[in-house]
Amino acid sequence: MAKEAAFAAVDLGAESGRVIVGTLQSGQVQLEPAHRFANVPVRTPDGLHWDVLRLYNEILHGLHSAARVHGDALIGVGIDTWGVDYGLIDAGGRLLGMPYHYRDVRTDGIAGEAAERVSASEQYARTGIAQLPINTLYQLLAQRKTDDRTLDLAQSLLMMPDLLHYWLTGLQSSEYTVASTSGALGVDGRWATDLLDRLDLPTHIFLPPTPPGTVLGGLGPAVRDECGPLRARVILPATHDTACAVVAVPSVPHQPGVSHAYISSGTWSLFGLELDHPVLGEQERLSGLTNEGGVGGTYNVLNNIMGLWLLQECRRSWARQGQEWTYEELSGLASEATSPGAIVDVDDPAFLHPDNMPAAIARHLQRTGQEPVEQAALVVRAVLEGLALAYRVALERVERLAGIRVDTIHVVGGGAGNGLLCQLTADACRRPVLAGPEEATALGNVLVQAMGAGEIRDLAEAHAVARSSTELVVYEPREDADWDDRAQRLRAQRDYPVTGAARR
């Protein structure tokens, strides 16, 4: 391991972005923020879009700040983002229109239409991906249904991090982990061209998948003019943020009979296992289980759970009404509040893109025969308890389908800093919760870049470095029989085992 190596991790989330420099020295990574910025989508007459040009400009600003501080020690740059969204590139290398946001309504109902041509069971057997309306596959089908000609003009499809890497280097690539979220990549790691043909979608626009850790190339002249004389190369991390976060799980080496689950907790909550094989079958499909590509030949076998999106949107709605709280203030209010006893199914499709989240929660409670809650503290408490219940049901499901007993749950990402949520998760799941790191995605990004640069040998060493770099907070479960009753009520409400995600 080199004496010191620094890597710029660009981590774009649905609500915000950050450029963080990770310095690897003596088997530990120290993270230092270089730039943070908001990620605000833009609604135009044709739908909801990502403001990708502003995001790119913010990335350049962050890289300039990182270069000014770290200079030649900065040897790698890598970008990770959410999955499924993409840009289309024409023969001249130009972006054809602004990328759509996965919460745009144009994909509503498209999964059902696709299943009329290729059954949901066959899609799942081929790709291992749950049929969520946000999947790239369904976005492309929605685009095909309109008079939008960009799909016919496109020469390549670049997922969001691939698009941004292209602008940094002038080189096009299709990194494997984010490609695996599309619903168009087979579990064998090759594009499911037979499936795409039957859905009347072009196959030539999909570039061969590139493994995480690949050295893509140097920064282009325009980037160096903007950011300074960087010698850093773009090293592909796991460009899907969940895959990065899983690399940063500070787990112990595998031992017979001992296993852990992870929750990557942010706008979405991803509850799952890091396995060396996919878990496929009709029960798995009906349970909403998805098999996303991981690092080092692994699969992230997980459930997508709506996550802190509900709290983010509640906060936004309350701010529009003149009631502004920080997340810490909201969590504090909820900690002091008595449980309302409500069962909020956080995966209700009504929560995917409502105009007013508190009102959507009230309607959800009324529709399920419960008393609505209106006070902000009680709404937040109900949402956090709903998340803990969703984790309990996901834990039961993944243990049953994977045939694994989970002994501990690692919570990483922003939710690791929410003590109330972590304690509720331990209580509901009756498992110890190990919280941290909060900047798991950025840490994982750095670790995979370091693997690509030869500074870290393999995935096992990456997990070991994550352990050395993280101070864990442990939450022991408290006895409360009420969680059994509430979990049973949630299962009945969902017509278990079919999840809200699968119903979409």
SS3 201: coil
Q: Name residue, tokens 């989240």.
A: 357
Element (DSSP H or E) covering residue 313: helix 309-320
CB distance 500 to 403 below 8 Å: no
480 is catalytic: no
CA dihedral 501, 439, 77, 136 (to 10 degrees): 10
3-state secondary structure of 10: strand
In terms of Cβ atoms closer than 10 Å to its own Cβ (0-12, 13-18, 19+), residue 275 is middle
Q: Which residues, in sequence order, are bridge partners of residue 258?
A: 255
Amino acid residing at 255: Q
Q: Residue 204 corresponds to which tokens in the numbers above?
A: 């030539």
Strand positions, DSSP E, 392-458: 408-412, 433-435
Give 327's contacts (C-beta < 8 A, 6+ positions apart).
Answer: 311, 315, 418
Q: CA–CA separation, 337 vs 333, rounded Å?
A: 6
Alpha-carbon span 230 to 330, nearest angstrom:
42
Q: Say if CB 435 and CB 416 are below 8 A apart.
A: yes
Name the pairing type of β-strands 408-412 and 260-265.
parallel
DSSP-derived 3-state class of residue 351: helix
3-state secondary structure of 271: strand
Q: Would you say 434 and 412 are in contact if contact means Cβ atoms under 8 Å apart?
A: no
Q: Which residue has the tokens 């929750």?
A: 263
**What sign for the dihedral angle of Cα 177, 182, 188, 192?**
negative
Distances (CA, A) of 383 to 36, 141, 404, 420: 27, 33, 28, 11
Q: Tell which residue, 116, 114, 297, has the closest CA to residue 192.
A: 114
- List the catalytic residue out of 11, 104, 241, 345: 241
Helix (H) or strand (E) holding 302: strand 299-305
The two three-digit tokens of residue 185, written as one number: 């990549």
Look at the block and give the residue holding tokens 């004389």: 229
Which residues are catalytically annotated?
Answer: 241
